[in-house]
Chains A and B, each alone.
Chain A
Amino acid sequence: METRENQLTSQESLKIITDMINKTKTSINQSSFHLLFWGWLIFFCSLSEFILWKFTSYATPWYVWFFVVPGVIVSLVYGFAKGRKDSAWTYATGLYVWNWIGFLFAALVLYFISMKNMESFGPFILTLAGMPLLMSGCILKFRPLIIGAFTFWIFALAARFGGPVVSALSTPAAMLTGDLIPGYLLKRKNSHDTV
């Protein structure tokens, strides 16, 4: 782009402004990584807990959830390292990141609140997780994530009112339909957009 001083017509000025706004439209490069990372981690933790509970005599199947702790560290380190390399930080990026950091703290609070009655934790965390998922879908203008949020809430009801087996399988089912499928669709969309 050259520098033309004071020779622009109104239409040319308007076109420059419109073009530049279009070039800063929401693209959050990291978004699909975190969705897929957490999708698979929670999917395997919840499914492993179900298998250990249903098909083995292992006394403490919930120990598998300790994998979430290194998961948080990996996610934070990756996000921080990638964020430092980003050449621009948009308002949408900030909203997206704080949306999920807020969820992380809310999930921690919910864990401490539910410690004496962990059976209620599953439906509550699915209900809570639906919100940042819905917000992410709105920020990225990506409908599968919005639909994903609603599937989380449907599986939260199933986890609360279904039997023990339905309840135990609700979390992996929610992760598969509400997080992993939209996550892969988003990854495909991002790779198409950057070609």
Chain B
Amino acid sequence: MTQFKDLDPLLHSQLRLAVVSLLMNVEVADFSFLQEKTGATSGNLSIQITKLKEAGYIEVTKKFSGNYPQTLCRITPLGRQKFVDYVNALKEYLNPEKNI
């Protein structure tokens, strides 16, 4: 009988998964980049980024670029590992016969 792994509940959410997927492909991205690519509202994005940060999946740095505040996000080794685990678990759901 096929044993399905549980999907990480922190990543199994539309916006958080989108953010982590974006950060997997860039070294660093600022808040406006994530907002533009996900199409999320700033309030919602901010909440989800905080959740990912508190779980240690991403690092958040705040700095000033000229006179404007800038929030920079980058994925941590833990976040990278969790994303890989999530994708592997997803593969099992999509191709269950390969995992018998």
Contact = CB atoms under 8 A, between A and B. Distances in A.
Interface string B32-59: 1100111110001001100000000000
A37 B44 CA distance: 42
A4 B14 contact: yes
Contacts of A14: 90, 94
B17 A16 contact: yes
Interface in A1-35: 1-6, 8, 10-14, 16-17, 19-21, 23-24
A15 B21 CA distance: 11
B26 to A, nearest CB: 5
Contacts of A6: 9, 12-13
B24 to A, nearest CB: 8
A91 interface: yes
A24 B25 CA distance: 7
A35 to B, nearest CB: 23
A24 B36 CA distance: 12
Which DSSP category, helix, strand, loop or mixed, fits chain B's interface?
A: helix
B37 A23 contact: yes
Interface string A71-115: 000000000000011011111001000000000000000000000
B35 to A, nearest CB: 9
B13 A8 contact: yes
A27 to B, nearest CB: 12
Which DSSP category, helix, strand, loop or mixed, fits chain A's interface?
A: helix
B90 A10 contact: yes
Contacts of A85: 65
Taking residues whose C-beta sits less than 8 angstroms from the other chain, chain A's interface range is 20 to 34
B15 A1 contact: yes
A3 B13 contact: yes
B59 to A, nearest CB: 14
Nearest to B73: A88
A61 to B, nearest CB: 44
Contacts of B26: 24, 88-91
Contact of A88 (B33, B44, B87): B33
A171 to B, nearest CB: 36
Contacts of B7: 13
B60 to A, nearest CB: 15
Nearest to A17: B21
A20 B36 contact: no
A88 B29 contact: yes
Interface in B40-97: 40, 44, 47-48, 65, 86-87, 90, 93-94
A87 B38 CA distance: 14
19 contacts: A1-B38, A1-B40, A2-B15, A3-B16, A8-B13, A10-B93, A10-B94, A13-B90, A14-B94, A17-B87, A20-B18, A21-B21, A21-B24, A24-B26, A87-B30, A88-B26, A89-B26, A90-B25, A94-B27
